[in-house]
A and B are shown apart, each in its own frame.
Chain A
Amino acid sequence: MKFIGFFLSFFITASLIILLNVPIDNIPPIGKFLSPHQGFWQNSEKEAIDLAPSIDLMALKDEVTIQFDELLIPHIKAKNNEDLYVAQGYVTAYHRLWQMDFYARVVMGRLSEVVGIKALNYDRLQRRLGLKDMTLKLHNLLMNDPYYGPLISAYTNGVNAYIASLSPSDYPIEFKLLNYKPEKWTTVKTCMSYALLASTLSRSEADIEHTNFRKMFGEELFNVLFPEPDGKFSPVIPGDTPFDFEPLTRPQKPESFELPNSVNETISKQNPLNGSNNFAVDGTKSKSGHAILANEPDLELTAPSIWYASHLTSPDINVMGVTVPGTPVILIGFNDSISWGVTNSPRDQVDWFSVTFKDASRKEYLYNNQWFKTEKILEKIVIKEAENFIDTIIRVHHGPIVYDRNFLSNHAKVNLAMRWIAHDESTTFKAIFHFNKANNYEEFVTGLSFFSGPPQNILYSDVQGNIALNLPGKFPVKWPGQGKFILDGSDPDSEWKDYIPFEHRLERYNHPQGFLSSANQFPVDRATYPYYVYSHRFEHYRNRRVNDRLMTMQNIKPEDLMDLQNDNFNYIASEILPYLLSQLDTLSLNEDQNKFFDELQNWDYFNHPNLKAPTHFELWSDILWETLWDEFDTMSFAVNKPDIYTTSQLIISDSLAGFSDRLSTPEKETTTDLINYAFNTAVDSLNQWIAKKDNDHSWNKFKGTEVNHLISSFTSFNKKNIRIGGNHNIVNAASKHHGPSWRMVVEMDKEGINAYGVYPGSQTGNPGNPMYGHMIIPWAEGKYYNLKFGQNKLLAEDILYEVQLTPKK
């Protein structure tokens, strides 16, 4: 009896513990998770900072002081550069360890390990794109460099020192929810952000979609719907900029190549809403006589934020700004002499080459009428609660074959190798490091010479009052049209040969107009620059708005550039709405339609959050665009729809050819019919929206901008329905999921810099911290914080918390 009782009780206890200690589906081990000692309760923070005031670190050579200001931005003072990056690694891990781990998994294609089989295709794509190989290549280069290697190691040691200080109860909440442990940080992971950013910014292309379209409809229609800009309207480099050099000769265009089969589905691309603005004015335009620089990268709005701010000081460095967590140095920022900001420069950095294998073994491929050996790579992907997956990737000299019989190949009919500049050895990290330390334009240009991509419009200003714009990077010399369509992988003449020399880059140093700016538009007047420049997508609106404003603005103060960053003018609407309204049959409008119409008629084209007209315009123009290009929805192969700018131009000039016909009706609609139809549908759909949401349809409520956690199912870590105006193609580029991810304005005063900044998030990544997401509302309201630097340097009363790091004996 006693034995039975004991064993029964033991069995119940053990089962209870086991049951509460294992994860079930997506639910973390409930006993562990709810334990007040080790579970989520431990992530509830009473104070904004819970670091010990004095910490011993083995990795240090000398003492380091970290002072946190009221935004939790660390101001790190070190006595040598290695210690500086140890401390940067330590403090970044303190605030963002889980996010760093997540990004490293994204780059290395290791998400499935922690979130399970749903991430498998994502991991496969990342590995097929070669992000891991790029990171290893960069790592190899930096670690073999006697100057940079120790800095990468120092940052890594700092991160690891923080990880080593953690007990399981201290792990960030995401580790507990997903039930895994932080693993050791490595020097390879410290090099990850290059691949991460390259994949976010320089992978945009539509070669396959274009090839499909041309095959179906011919080149003539293709050129109408997907025209190349001539660069006459507000290019990045002002039109009067001379390029007096002898260009390298363009390669000869080989015979046109036509792929026999089409591709039905393409890989996921970078989001077209990733964009940015930067602008700088010189002393002639500014009130104070100093240059002022403004920059804001518009990216996906995530929690934790993509950016982490810090102020780094050592005997030869004094720099402040933001970087991607996990990456040493400052990517966008300023030091006491110069400031710099970047916007993405759309440039076709990816070409696809069709590869012919000798046979199904795929051991040899055709090139220059000969058979060459392929390289086979087996990528093992570990999947949580499932068997490992092995992906076989074939490499040829162009690059990895991303589309093949195992991946999106249309029943093994196509093999496409990816030639991506980002696969080449990159020295961009060196460039950024030079920017951090540069004292003047000459030193900055030395930094630029190392910049290999992803292509950026790099804006510069200094305390001498100079401003400059540069587009450095690695660009092949192409024949016009090279790489717009899939190329013949067996033809040596289809390949890239020479690269545009650094001295032939697009550059503008100061300008009589007193300002320079960029906003992802076409970079240069095609008639003046001797090299072929191409991308399938450029901005056409934000650039014109920024330049229009800067042209008229005088006596500019930093606040004026802040206002410009928050400018809600809807350039698209200003161009197309008068035409659309003029095409309406206003006599037959009912009451609802009349109200809808009046709102638009009286609108001044500003997408302010409280207005209803922007909602009307958005609905109407979206429906118009959808129904206009409904022909594209019926196609079984991958194809792109024309962009908003081209569409608007075609509508206004009434040159839509047969596309205005709606396929779902027997009639042949004209453009005017279509505009009226879209209008009526928009009114109906607005009424439905109001009935469903039981809400008024002010622009901010209709748009519903949100900052979502990187793990989308962690919905309560999100911030929804943020009250902010703007939209895509508007300077204040806040759409639903994208927007200004870091707004910075810097006045380059010789006596000490005045810098301002804000981002939609918080330094701390912990949802249990009282300051989690504290800058989101001020960001939405267009407010800025004084960054504690230069004239506003951190005073004793501004220090929220101070930590002393001491070398451990």
Chain B
Amino acid sequence: MKFILKIFLMGISSYLLPFYFPWWSIALGAGLVSLIIRGRNFNSFNAGFIAGGLVWFYLSFTIDNSTNSLLSEKIALLMNLTESIWLIYASTLIGALVTGFGALTGGLMGSIISPKKMSRNEYVS
């Protein structure tokens, strides 16, 4: 459940923050979430990876779909890609990696700030 909650919160932060802050604020949001909601580091990374990837996939896919790939085809050609779908994959991967590593860093930071809690959590889980 905590894992799902994390994905959900990281998803919301990845969706909302870049409207107001630089694109990489997705890492900060995810880091904050995994700092507050503690868990295993591997899980933090996975939650961020999935959340960030999903949000960036969803957004780029819907834009691409609703505009019939009009611009993405042109950009793909500029980048020597054969199809615009690769741009969606690339966006997804970037969103996933940056959010994932942000989440991981947040989690690890948490374990430094309150190591005890961390060990109990590990034990419980």
Residues on A close to B: CB < 8 A?
Answer: 2-3, 5-6, 9-10, 12-13, 16-17, 20-21, 27, 30-32, 34-46, 173, 177, 714-717, 767-770, 772
| 5 closest residue pairs by CB, A with B | A768-B71, A36-B59, A37-B18, A35-B23, A716-B77
CA distance A27 to B80 in the complex (A): 12
30 contacts between A and B (CB under 8 A): A2-B112, A2-B115, A3-B112, A5-B41, A6-B111, A6-B112, A9-B104, A9-B108, A13-B31, A13-B102, A17-B24, A20-B94, A27-B79, A31-B23, A31-B24, A34-B90, A35-B18, A36-B59, A39-B91, A40-B72, A40-B75, A41-B71, A41-B72, A43-B71, A44-B72, A714-B78, A715-B77, A716-B75, A716-B78, A767-B74
Least Cβ distance of B87 to chain A in Å? 7
Bitwise interface map of B from 37 to 79 toward A, beta carbon under 8 Å scored 1, else 0: 0000100000000000000100110011011001111110111
CA distance A17 to B98 in the complex (A): 7
CA distance A716 to B82 in the complex (A): 12
Note all chain B residues with C-beta closer than 8 A to A35: 18, 23, 56, 91, 94-95
Least Cβ distance of B19 to chain A in Å? 6
For window 1-43 of B, CB contacts with A under 8 Å fall at: 18-19, 22-24, 27, 31, 41
Please tell me which one of the listed residues A20, A21, A38 contacts residue B18 in the complex, with CB atoms under 8 A apart: A38
Q: Other than A6-B105, A35-B94, give 20 A-B pairs with Cβ distance below 8 A.
A: A2-B115, A5-B111, A9-B105, A13-B31, A13-B104, A16-B101, A20-B98, A21-B24, A36-B60, A37-B18, A37-B59, A38-B22, A39-B23, A39-B91, A41-B71, A44-B71, A714-B78, A716-B77, A716-B78, A768-B70
Least Cβ distance of A524 to chain B in Å? 49
A46-B66 contact given A9-B108, A31-B23, A36-B60, CB 8 Å threshold: yes
Cβ–Cβ contact B67 & A45, under 8 A: yes
Please tell me which one of the listed residues A6, A40, A46, A770 contacts residue B108 in the complex, with CB atoms under 8 A apart: A6
Least Cβ distance of A39 to chain B in Å? 7
CA distance A20 to B90 in the complex (A): 12
Tell me the number of A-to-B contacts counted with CB atoms below 8 Å: 119
B109 within 8 A of A: yes
- B16, closest chain A residue (CB): A37
Cβ–Cβ contact B71 & A40, under 8 A: yes
B97 within 8 A of A: yes
Note all chain A residues with C-beta closer than 8 A to B112: 2-3, 6
Interface of B is mostly: helix
Cβ–Cβ contact A41 & B115, under 8 A: no
For window 74-125 of B, CB contacts with A under 8 Å fall at: 74-75, 77-79, 87, 90-91, 94-95, 97-98, 101-102, 104-105, 108-109, 111-112, 115
Interface centre among A41, A177, A770 (most CB of B within 10 A): A41
A30-B19 contact given A2-B108, A37-B59, A767-B71, CB 8 Å threshold: no
Least Cβ distance of A178 to chain B in Å? 12
Cβ–Cβ contact A768 & B77, under 8 A: no
Cβ–Cβ contact A10 & B72, under 8 A: no
Interface centre among A12, A44, A714 (most CB of B within 10 A): A44
- B100, closest chain A residue (CB): A13
Note all chain B residues with C-beta closer than 8 A to A714: 78
CA distance A42 to B109 in the complex (A): 34
Least Cβ distance of A764 to chain B in Å? 12
CA distance A42 to B78 in the complex (A): 17
Least Cβ distance of B88 to chain A in Å? 9
